[in-house]
Amino acid sequence: MRALSRGIQPIYAPILHPKHTTRIPIASRLPRSAWTRSFHASASLRTMDLAFDLHDNAGQAKGAPILILHGLFGSKKNNRSISKALARDLSRPIYAVDLRNHGDSGHDREHNYTVLAEDTEAFLKKHNLKDATLIGHSMGAKTVMTMALRDPSCCANIIAVDNAPVDAALASDFPRYVEGMRKVEDAKVKSQKDADQILEPYAKELPVRQFLLTNLIRTSPSDPLKFRIPVRILAHSLDDMADFPSKDPDQTRFNKRALFLRGTKSHYVSDETIPILGRFFPKFELMDIEAGHWIISENPEAFRKAVVEFLKEDE
């Protein structure tokens, strides 16, 4: 199943039935529909405005919008370069969004995929973004999957990067990262160098530490550095980040195109999860990228080519 490395090929979506297993080819495309979602009553009380950067190739990108959502501990800044490249290649405006409790967006004690989806649905409505492509990495991937299954009319298609619609424990790295960041905050450090030294036992790889430390800010010259993300809130939300809110693919299904990209060195989308992909997303396509979990930063060119090829098939 890890042979799809030369371009994007449709694969067979296993649909599992109680008494037997049938393999059916991915069906022909459905036409795009206008976004006509009727919001859940609960959404209006707890949605948060999301900060974003718009990349539109100096106003030249006029096509249907694309949203790109970062992963846990990330921000819209992580996707700046790839957003600019995709806006140029596809002539479509790219909205790089900060999810709640990340980047420049607000903080709230509730952090799970339902509220992340509601925030992003409200963002689409506020900015009148229709026929959008939703791209998400890791936490962002589960967010766009949640949105697609809650209301398929909210988007034209999705691209989920290195995550699957299953309940699965996060890699043990993430609790260690949180522990290290809390140690940095408790030490009230004055420099990035000091923060890096404290964090090193908890995040051995320099690129990972550099990624985590992009969240450090100084509110005034005399103040110690602190994380702009609410580390303690996110620490208590790790179990929710391992969860997936949709449990029954017989009740919720997304019958539009969905691309799943997985890292060849990552465990987040195992072969065992592929039947689940097929049940929730019958028209899914799968492609392997030579990378670990951080596909967009580790292999941006392969990611860019995969996204462009997938989306140009709809033109």
Which helix (H) or strand (E) segment is 258 a member of? strand 258-263
The rounded Cα 257 to chain-centroid distance in angstroms is 17
Which helix (H) or strand (E) segment is 289 a member of? strand 284-289
Q: Which of 105, 138, 237, 266 is catalytic?
A: 138
DSSP 314: T
CA distance 114 to 92: 27
Closest CA to 246 of 147, 122, 124, 158: 147
For residues 284 and 278, the answer to whether their CB atoms sit within 8 Å is yes
For residues 203 and 209, the answer to whether their CB atoms sit within 8 Å is yes
CA distance 315 to 37: 24
Q: Is 267 designated active site?
A: no
- CA-derived radius of gyration, the chain: 19
Cα distances from 223 to residues 190, 215, 226, in angstroms, run: 8, 16, 9
Q: Is 44 designated active site?
A: no
Q: List 259's β-bridge partners, or say none.
A: 159, 285
Closest CA to 292 of 314, 261, 259, 315: 261
Q: Which of 75, 111, 293, 297 is catalytic?
A: 293
The rounded Cα 83 to chain-centroid distance in angstroms is 14
SS3 label, residue 55: strand
Active site residue ranges? 138, 293
